[in-house]
Every structure is written in C-alpha cells, then in structure tokens.
Amino acid sequence: MVAAAGLLLCGFLAAHLLGNLLMFAGGGAFNAYAEALEHNPLLPLAEIGLVALFVLHIILSVRATVINRAARPEGYRVYRGKGARTPGSRTMALTGTLILVFIVVHVATFKFDLGGLKGPDLYGHVLGWFANPWYAAFYVLAVGGVGLHLSHGAQSAIQTFGVSHPRYTPLLKTAGLGFAFLIFLGFASLPVYFGFVQKRQACCTGGAHS
C-alpha cells in the first residue's frame, strides 16, 4: 500500500513537473496553464485524491516505521551492515519528513498565499518567492529530498510489486533511479534559474524585473 500510494504520487510529481517547466516558456504559457487547471471542474476531486494519497502514504509509512523500530528494541552497539543500503534507503524517514514540511510550506505559499505576496499572476507570484534566496534554497533542498526519497522508493516499489526478471528488473530499477534524478533536476532547475541565474542576469544588465 505504501508502495502503491508512492507510485501514484510519482505520477502526480511527473505531471506537476511538466506543468512547472512551462515557466521556461514564459509567463503567458504558464499562467494559461494555471488558469486552465484552476477552472477544471475536476480539480477539487483531484486535490482530495491527492491529499488522500499523501495521508495514506504517510500513515502507513509511520506505522511501518513504528513496527520496525519495535522489532529491534535493543539496538546494536556496532552496526555496519554489508553495504547494501543506499543513501536513499538510509534516509527515508528523514527525507519523508522534509518533504512533508516542504509540502505544507509549498501549499501554504502557492495555493493559500500565506505571506500575502500573491501578485497579479501566478508566474510573477512564483518568481517573487524564488527571489527570496532562503526560500529558493529551501526549495532546492526539499526537491533534493524528493529525489533521494525516490531513489530508494522507486526501486523499492518495483520490488514490492513483485516485479522480478533477470534482465528487465535491473533495467527497471535503473529507470527508477533515473526518474528520481530527473524529478530532482527538473524541480531544482526552476528556483536555480529564476531565483539565481535570471536574477543575476537581470542585475548585471541593470534590468528592472520586479
């Protein structure tokens, strides 16, 4: 169930990223997309579904973590393992928590406009937030967490669904890893570009973008 919810959330992430990447096409395209999305009558339904998926994924993960901690009440004084764990698998709880915090902030700022920065258009609104270097850095860190989380989560879901083939499974797992990296790259590109690169260009050319 954790894996199923996780996989569906991956689908959402991919769609979300594609939408966001429209920012590179300029404010018009992005705003039009946002407009269309906001006026889609199915949006509330999708939002409810999304929240449900998150809640399910989180509750089940927390439950599993509690059970797993209880399965070894007294820990090892020295624990080294034999090198099978990855940075992603070691930090699932940590990255999961980070993602949760980020989502709260993210939804609060971009959807409910906490901080009252909502400008005339969403494009400008986003750029406004990215202009804050702390926010942009946090954004990058968080999507880094997403990537790390997925680096374990994607291949883990494949295993949990019982996919096992001597030739295709390794390919599939590599693809999962690639997906995690792309998600990170895609999301991180936005604040990096709009928050730092473009801003620097703007200041150097003396342009007034605000």
Partner 1 sequence: MNITLKVWRQKNADAPGALVEYNVAGVVPEMSFLEMLDALNERLVAEGQDPVAFDSDCREGICGMCDLVIDGQAHGPDKEATTCQLHMRRYRDGDVVTVEPFRAKAFPIVKDLCVDRSAFDRVQAAGGFVSINTGNAVDGNAILIPHDEAEKAMDAAACIGCGACVAACPNASAMLFVAAKVSQYALLPQGRPEREKRVLAMREAMDQEGFGHCTNEYECEAACPKGIKVSNIARLNREYLRAALTSD
Q: 60 burial class (0-12, 13-18, 19+ CB within 10 angstroms)?
A: middle
Q: Could you identify the residue written with the tokens 């260009």?
A: 201
Residue 68 is a binding residue for partner 1 (CB under 8 A): yes
Q: How far apart are CA 186 and CA 62, in angstroms?
A: 28
Residue 167 is a binding residue for partner 1 (CB under 8 A): no
Query: Which of 40, 43, 85, 181 is in the footprint of partner 1 by CB under 8 A?
Result: 85
**Both tokens assigned to 93:** 């709880």
Residue 131 gets which letter from DSSP? T
CB 158 to partner 1: min, Å: 8
Residue 160 is a binding residue for partner 1 (CB under 8 A): yes
Residue 81 is a binding residue for partner 1 (CB under 8 A): yes
Q: 124 burial class (0-12, 13-18, 19+ CB within 10 angstroms)?
A: middle
Residue 78 gets which letter from DSSP? S
Q: Please count the CA atoms within 13 angstroms of the CA of 156 that sit on its side-chain side.
A: 22
CB 112 to partner 1: min, Å: 34
CB 90 to partner 1: min, Å: 8
CB 189 to partner 1: min, Å: 29
Q: For 105-167, give the DSSP string.
A: HHHHHHTS-TTS---SSHHHHHHHHHTSHHHHHHHHHHHHHHHHHHHHHHHHHHHHTT---TT
Question: Which of the stretches 19-27, 121-129, 149-157, 175-183 binds partner 1 when contact is defined by CB under 8 A?
Answer: 149-157
Question: Which of the stretches 12-20, 65-73, 95-103, 125-133 binds partner 1 when contact is defined by CB under 8 A?
Answer: 65-73
- For residues 38 and 74, which CB has a smaller minimum distance to partner 1 in the complex? 74
Question: Which of the stretches 34-42, 80-88, 120-128, 177-185 binds partner 1 when contact is defined by CB under 8 A?
Answer: 80-88
- Interface with partner 1 (CB under 8 A): 64, 67-68, 70-85, 89, 92, 152, 155-156, 159-164, 166, 169
